Every structure is written in structure tokens, then in C-alpha cells.
Amino acid sequence: MSDPIREILTKTDFAMSAPILVDGLASKVRRKLRNRRIAAGAATRIAIAAAVVLPLLLHQTRPLPAVQASEPTKYDRRLIEADATYHQMVADLLVKYEHGRNHGQIPKTDDFLWQLSQERDRTALLLVGSGDRIYRDFHNRVAAESHYRQVIHLFPESPAAALAQQKLQDLNEKGIQS
């Protein structure tokens, strides 16, 4: 982590207030989680029961049609052969395509760079969120603008930079209207 980012995160930690403690919050969370697990288990059991019982009920109520074996006509044979030829061509194309592919293997450097860019974008969005909280909770416009400008300066190509630019414009419009 570079020095400017570390400084921003440190300042944000100091600016944030201590978490609000609620009596019995842990037991409420545990109870809610237990209830969700029970509901999910019940839904799964109902789905399994429906998957087993419904086909049995439908099978018993519907009589099977009588099937008479007959010799296919020349037209039917041509259709079957055309269909088989079509499916064989599709299968050949799929096999050819699979041999030409890299089988989804991404080089480790590309994977590392992708993860790095994801972390960069996440950090930039955290800074934008920090600026939002500072403005919303503490009404400190200067500090919020500073956070937005740091996002634009440190992460100019990230989606968060465009968001920070928009937030700066919104703050400037609010300042002009006030």
C-alpha cells in the first residue's frame, strides 16, 4: 500500500465514530440467522417433496397412450437422416471449437492484475464512501471534497473517479445555491 492511501485510510479511521453498541444484538443476530436456516431447510424439504410426489400423482392420473409400431416411410427416413447429419455437423464444429480454445486457463499474471484492479476499484469506492459519510454525518464539506479530490488524483481511470467528480460537482452546486 502506498503512503497516500495509507494516510487517507488512517485519517478516515480517526474521523469515524465508535460503533454503537446495542444490548442483546448478538442474540438477535443469532436468532435471525437460525430462523433463516430453518426457513431455508423447510423450503428445501418442500421442494424435494414436490419433486417426488407431483410426478407420481401425474403419472397415476394420466393413462398412457397406446403406441403402435409402424414402418417409417421414405419421407420419415429422409427427415431422420437430415436431422442426424445436422447434429453430426454441430458436434464436429463443437469439437473443432474446443480444440482451438485455451480451455479457460488464464495466465497467473493476468489473474493477479485482475485482482489488483479489483482491489484498486474497491479502495477508491471506499474513499468515496468515506467522503460521503463525512459530509452526511459531520457536515464537513472541506474534508469530503478532499476525499473526492484524492480519489480523482490517485485513481484517475477508475469508475470511482467519475463518481467522485460527480460528487464534487453536486457539492459545488449546493454551495452556490446556499
Residue 103, pLDDT above cutoff 60: no
Distance CA 175, CA 24 (A): 43
The dihedral over CA atoms of 122, 124, 126, 130, expressed in degrees to the nearest 10, equals 180
Asked if 152 and 165 touch (Cβ cutoff 8 Å), the reply is: yes
Q: Per-residue confidence at 44, pLDDT binned at 50, 70, 90? A: confident
Give the pLDDT confidence of 109-129 residue by residue, as tens digits. 777 888 888 888 888 888 999
Residue 150, pLDDT above cutoff 90: yes
Looking at residue 32, its amino acid is K
Average pLDDT for 136-158? 91
Asked if 168 and 148 touch (Cβ cutoff 8 Å), the reply is: yes
Asked if 9 and 129 touch (Cβ cutoff 8 Å), the reply is: no
Distance CA 159, CA 152 (A): 10
Cell of 141: 464539506
Average pLDDT for 19-34? 78
Residue 100, pLDDT above cutoff 70: no
Alpha-carbon 154 to chain mean position: 26
pLDDT recorded at residue 61: 54
Cβ count near 159 (within 10 Å) = 12
Q: What angle do CA 174, 157, 155 make, to 5 degrees?
A: 70
